[in-house]
Structure 1
Amino acid sequence: MRASQFYIKTTREAPVEAETISHKYLTRGSFIQQIAAGIFSIMPLGQRSLDKIRTIIREEMNAAGGLEVTMPVVQPRSIWQESGRADTYVPPLAKFLDRREREMVLAPTHEETVSIMGRYGIASYRDMPLILYQIQTKFRDETRSRGGLLRVREFEMKDAYSFDADPAGLDTSYDAMAQAYRNIFSRCGLDAVMVEADSGSIGGKDSAEFALLADSGEDTVLTCDSEECEYGANLEKAEFIKTLNAEEKADEVEKFPTPGLKTIEALAKAEGVSESKTAKAVFYTIDDQVYVVVIRGDYEVNETKVRNLMGGSEPRLATREEVAAAGFVAGSASAVGINSKYVIADESAVENANLLAGANEEGFHLRNVNFGRDWNADHMGDIAAALEGHKCPRCDDGYLKQHRGIEVGHIFKLRTVYSDTMNVKFNDVDGKLQPVFMGCYGIGTGRLLAAAVEANHDDRGMTLPRSIAPFEVVVVAVNMHNNDEVRELAESLYRQLNDVGIETLLDDRVEAPGAKFADADLIGMPVRVVVSPRSIQNGGVEVKHRKAARSDSTIHAADQAISAVQAILNS
């Protein structure tokens, strides 16, 4: 491809709203163009890189036994009502009425549609295992799109779905998809880690995300610092070993005045004890009902875990007005005397004795509060947020370390969530009707490109790996329009490189050499070949790897240039 016939409109300045490296460089390099908040056009350079990402994904999915399909972006809302997600999906579905006044939605994901496909095609256990995948557009009306392609409203995703006859088959499909994802990320130049994750609005029991550890990420990932342990989880899912206070015999409850003490920190300090000796009460509103969430004072509440414990209903911090209307005294509250059906308790508050807690009376607290005797809860479980420094839940020696991360892929064991609601059944070996076990596996192609830039860049621009760079080589011809020798040599190298299968861009634009070099660095061409009067005078052409220092180039005779380029690319 000749640059004079291509669309290269680079800029020196990034958009003022660009916060991440990928947003800045993809925009400056004319890979993407923003149309509205969270909505982008893909320009020719970006299209070439995304085509390569799609090819890698297709090769790995096909190798894992996947069959490609295409499902509609516009769907009737009725199929979402069938699955039970029409009114609960977050963010809310974007919907409209068609000309016949039927409710339609823009699909944020395709579990419903693929369930219908499975319902139609799967009759017997002999029809499984089956893996279907597509690369298709999605729309999620995110309230806060950011980071260029990292969080958008309209985006392209590869989503795959597996159908199996039993849990063991689902495990096999899940593991095969996990390995395919590792291959995809490796080929795209990403060192992504697989960590446990919450299933969110997709549903199902188990899930894992692949995260690129990067300061620009908006996810929080916790990993074990022990080299022998592979535990990792995102913040929503992460667990940890909770320490126990020394065992004590339950003492009698004692009310005492605490004027002006409104925080756990102030209460513990006044009593001369650790915050682990307190029971913290936090008020949440769930389905219009105020609940008291009780946790040991040195821990924080994980709202995702609360949501899962409460069957998927979204919790939000109660307002002052809601707390007052429910009869609670903020700053002096506890679960003592509260109906247990409105109490949610973390294990840490249940398993420790003689805790300090609010007396539900302004300016007073209680000593020696004990679960089971002084208060109870109908909802109990792990609702504590894991933080850096907490004990690893999987090994004896490790502690959790916190990272920022970019989610680049997510895999789910849906099990029978959708096959139950959408009647995806099959006849087993005994002729009995059984629900299909399903899995779901997603990768955002645009986000993958953005993550690759976050992982591969320097102060001059992108340093994309050969596998996904828009071109492998750029031949920069200096003054070719005024120098026949330069033009002929540049044209010859351009033809030879393309003839041996190396995707090459010939920069034949009437631009200053410095502008051409800057564009090549910004766009991230893996190898730059410079043909100029000076290089010819010095013996041939100048060859340089993109990641090398500015001055670290080598001169090669014209008949050796192709071999030099191949050596760099193959290394």
Structure 2
Amino acid sequence: MQLATLFGRTLRQAPAEADTLATQLLWRAGMLRTLNDGEPVLLPLGSAILRRLAAILGTAVQNDGAQEIVVPTTTTASWSDTVTALARRDIDSYRQLPQLLWSWRRRKRLATRPRGLVDMPTPTTLSWAVLALDEEQAQQHLTVTRNRLSIALHQCGLDHVAAALQAPGTVTIIVDSLAKPVATLDCPACGFRAPLEQAPLAPLPPYVGPTPTMSLVETPNANTIAALAAYLDIPTASTAKALFFTDRRDDAQRLVFAVVRGDREASLAKLAAAIGAGELTPASAEQIVACGAMPGYASPVGVHDVLVVADYTVVNGTPLVAGANRPGYHLRDVIYGRDWEATLVADIAQAVVGDPCPRCGTARIEGYGAAVGTITAPYQTALPIQDAGGQNRPLWIAGIELDLEPLIHLGVEQHHDERGIVWPAAIAPVDIHLVTIGRGEAVVTAAHTLATELRNAGWSVLIDDRDERAGVKFNDADLIGAPWRLVVSEKLLAAGQVEVRRRTEVQATVIAQAKVIAWLQGVSTTSRNKE
């Protein structure tokens, strides 16, 4: 590559739309731009980083014996649904297990997925899954691959992500980031983190108090939770909140009735994930009436033709006040399981600061981070697999997904200085930034000859033979951040020498041109051994 003809020029100043330090450096280094609609685009140098990340992580999962599949970019199915659908067609016996599958996927980012850093509309995602006959086998392979990916990310200079990959259970992988794109709820005791919109609530203990008979009570003008609680002189936690949505997917739509405790809000992200929703929008008054409910006084008691989703906070047996589906009336002492039932019970309420951690019970605090993927702990499917005894047992699946574009952003956050980016060697867009000083044809010819020799030895090279001052070229080299900068000038050429400087060092070294490749190979080998 030649800097003079490379698509994506360097900039002295980043535009106002580059709102984080890492994004500013990516813009200035000619690696990132945005389209007119604001969507980010990786330019050739940025794409080179992506390819290197993909190669290292792809090798990591293949080393565990995973087989690659190619998934259409047009699919809207989740990774787990994709793997399950394939298993249903091709796996029916324990003799075929375990199976390890992986894929590079580019598909539209789900509305329920937390936003990333370099937030591509179709992120490049490494998706890996294990299909096994039992939980122990699935967990064993999940642990091995998690460790392999952690080692690979460490090679890429991304230690924080590697540490996050050790998180147990089904979690969003969240790492600290100066950009703070995702609000989180964090446990200060056990370290459990989750995006605020998806943070799980700890289950409530079963209710053990009295269970009076349900009764009708007049509640004039009490068409909100606050007005109802004030009129009956009860806490909002003693009420049931009714929320209606339309779920639109392709050309179809369905009505969804979500029920949460009155002191809680519904999390649209959790609700959408629970029901596999497309786009959730507020339902119209006409739609609500059509299912037998009444806006402002809606109740899950007696509704029809609607998907009713109940949060765990309303199904533990506590008597609650709910609507009566009549204007000006509510029902007292409504109990789940006795007076009504939901189509689905799920964790759909919004967690807040101070809620107990679902793992250790400690009050959670507000935090911020970046979402870079997910780890899915082993879970049972409904797919029957025949075991050695001829009995059908459910197939177990576990998985990992990693988005690559946020890793590029984190790489810049963790590796830069006042002059620009300092890429770790494993993911640098090029290995060597070769600069010519002087306008003589002999200098340019010598530089291109050296570049060819370096490429033949396995190094990637970016040549800067522009007609620019030395200071401009050196500044651009530091900004782009290749691990090595080599300089060829008339003076050095006359002496048969080349100037070599590592990006992390201040002083350059002058060595014989004939020994450059051997010298670089020796220094690089020593550096790898130290790591």
Normalising by the residue count of structure 2, what TM-score does the alignment of the two structures yield?
0.72
Give the direction of change, closer, same or farther, for the CA distance of 1:445–1:393 in structure 2 (3 Å limit): closer
SS of match in other structure, 1:133: strand
Cα distance in 1 for partners of 2:173, 2:336 equals 41
Q: How does 1:179-258 map to 2 (within 5 A)?
A: 179-190=147-158, 191-192=160-161, 193-194=164-165, 207-214=170-177, 216=179, 221-226=184-189, 229-235=190-196, 237-241=198-202, 249=210, 255=217, 257-258=219-220
How far off is 1:395 after superposition? 0.8
Corresponding residue for residue 382 of structure 1 = 347
The reply to whether residue 465 of structure 1 matches residue 424 of structure 2 is: yes
Deviates more, 1:321-330 or 1:214-223: 214-223
State which of 336, 340, 348 in structure 1 corresponds to 2:313: 348
The answer on whether the counterparts of 2:99 and 2:132 sit within 8 Å (CA) in structure 1 is yes
Separation in 1 of the partners of 2:261 and 2:333?
12
The reply on whether 1:150 has 2:107 as its aligned counterpart is no
Aligned match of 1:369: 333
Residue segments in structure 2 that go unaligned for 5+ positions in a row: 493-497
State the distance in 2 between where 1:347 and 1:501 align: 58
Amino acid across the alignment from 2:217:
K
Query: What corresponds to 1:111 in structure 2?
Result: 83
Q: Residues 543-569 of structure 1, C-alpha deviation per residue, up to 9 Å, x if partnerless?
A: 5745x8xxxx34666689979986889
For residue 509 of structure 1, report the CA deviation from its aligned partner: 2.5
Look up the match of 1:513. 470
State the SS of the aligned residue for 1:168: helix
Q: Does 1:176 align with 2:144?
A: yes
CA offset at residue 70 of structure 1?
Answer: 5.4
The whole-number CA distance in structure 2 between the counterparts of 1:372 and 1:142 is 32
Structure 1 partner of 2:495: none
Tell me, yes or no, if the aligned pair for 1:474 and 1:528 is still in contact at 8 Å: yes
Asked if 1 retains the 8 angstrom alpha-carbon contact of 2:116 and 2:372, the reply is no
Q: Quote the offset at 1:391 in angstroms.
A: 0.7
> Is this contact kept in 1: 2:484–2:500, CA < 8 A?
no
Amino acid at match of 1:225: P
Alpha-carbon displacement from aligned partner over 1:436-488 (angstroms, at most 9, x marks no partner): 544444334445434534554567654432221123453555x433699x999
Please tell me whether the aligned partners of residues 472 and 525 of structure 1 are also in contact (alpha carbons under 8 angstroms): yes
Once the two structures are TM-superposed, the CA of residue 183 in structure 1 deviates from its matched residue by 2.5
The answer (yes or no) to whether the contact 1:306–1:315 under 8 Å persists in 2 is no
How far has the Cα of 1:381 moved from its partner? 4.5
Closer/same/farther in 2, CA of residues 7 and 371 from structure 1, 3 Å limit: closer
TM alignment of 1:465-504, pairs within 5 A: 465-474=424-433, 476-477=435-436, 479-481=437-439
How far apart, CA to CA, are the structure 1 residues paired with 2:259 and 2:71?
45
Letter in 1 for 2:296: G
Change (3 A) 1:165 1:246: closer
How far, CA to CA, are the matches of 1:475 and 1:514 in structure 2? 14
> Is the partner of 2:52 in helix, strand or coil?
helix
Change over 3 Å in CA distance of 1:403–1:490 after alignment to 2: same
User: More displaced, 240-249 or 395-404?
Assistant: 240-249
Q: Distance in 2 between matches of 1:38 and 1:502?
A: 35
Q: What SS does structure 2 have at the residue aligned with 1:467?
A: helix
Hey, what's the Cα distance between the residues in 2 that align with 1:372 and 1:160? 39
CA contact (8 A) 1:408 1:451 kept: no
Q: Deviations over 1:143-188 (max 9, x none)?
A: 99998953234x6443334343333322222222222232233333
Which residue of the partner structure matches residue 51 of structure 1?
Answer: 51
| Per-residue Cα deviation, 1:59-106 (whole angstroms, up to 9, x for no partner) | 322332334x4537489xxxxxxxxxx8xx469xxxxxxxxxxxxxxx
Gaps of 5+ in 1: 76-85, 92-106, 198-205
Q: Secondary structure, in 3 states, of the residue corresponding to 2:427?
A: coil
Q: Distance in 2 between matches of 1:284 and 1:330?
A: 12
- Letter aligned with residue 467 of structure 1: A
Q: Is 2:482 aligned against 1:525? A: yes
Once the two structures are superposed, the pairs formed by residues 404-423 of structure 1 within 5 Å of their partners are: 404-408=369-373, 410-411=375-376, 413=378, 415-416=380-381
Q: Is the 8 A contact 1:25 1:522 kept in 2?
A: yes
Instruction: Give CA deviations for 1:355-403 in whole Å, capped at 9, x if unaligned.
Output: 554454445556x534259943334443322233211011143425443
Question: Alpha-carbon deviation of 1:19?
Answer: 6.1
1:277 aligns with 2:238: yes
Whichever residue aligns with residue 430 of structure 2, its letter is: F
Structure 1 residue identity aligned to 2:236: E
* Structure-2 separation of matches of 1:195 and 1:269: 48
TM-score by length of 1: 0.67
Change (3 A) 1:369 1:505: same
**SS of alignment partner, residue 426 of structure 2:** coil
CA contact 1:71–1:113 (8 Å) conserved in 2: no
Give the structure 1 partner of residue 356 of structure 2.
Answer: 391
CA displacement at 1:510 relative to structure 2: 1.9
Q: Distance in 1 between matches of 2:166 and 2:38?
A: 27
Superposed CA RMSD in Å reads 5.4
Instruction: Tell whether 2:102 aligns with 1:133.
Output: yes
**Shift in Å at residue 430 of structure 1?**
3.9
* In structure 1, C-alpha distance between the alignment counterparts of 2:285 and 2:100, rounded to whole Å: 50
Partner Cα distance (2:479, 2:10) in 1: 8
Q: CA deviation at 1:523?
A: 2.0
Return the offset for 1:249.
4.7
User: 2:428 corresponds to which letter in structure 1?
Assistant: A
What is the total number of aligned residue pairs between the two structures?
A: 510
Contact 1:108 1:139 in 2 (8 A): no
Q: Is contact 1:242-1:391 (8 Å) kept?
A: no
Distance in 2, matches of 1:184 and 1:369, equals 57
- Do the aligned partners of residues 263 and 534 (structure 1) sit closer, same or farther apart at CA in structure 2, a change above 3 Å counting? farther
- Identity of matched residues, %: 25
Q: Deviations over 1:110-144 (max 9, x none)?
A: 6379548x82xx68645443324344x64448799
- Is the Cα–Cα contact under 8 Å of residues 71 and 103 in structure 2 kept in the other structure? no
Once the two structures are TM-superposed, the CA of residue 234 in structure 1 deviates from its matched residue by: 4.1
Q: Is the 8 A contact 1:160 1:442 kept in 2?
A: yes
Change beyond 3 A, Cα 1:39–1:365: closer
Contact 2:481 2:503 in 1 (8 A): no
Q: AA paired with 2:46?
A: G
Distance 1:342 1:428, change over 3 A: closer
1:200-220 CA deviation, whole Å, 9 max, x = no partner? xxxxxx844433343657655
Change (3 A) 1:283 1:73: closer
Partner Cα distance (2:31, 2:41) in 1: 9
User: Which residue identity is paired with 1:283?
Assistant: F
SS of equivalent residue, structure 2 residue 430 = coil
- C-alpha distance in 1, partners of 2:241/2:367? 24
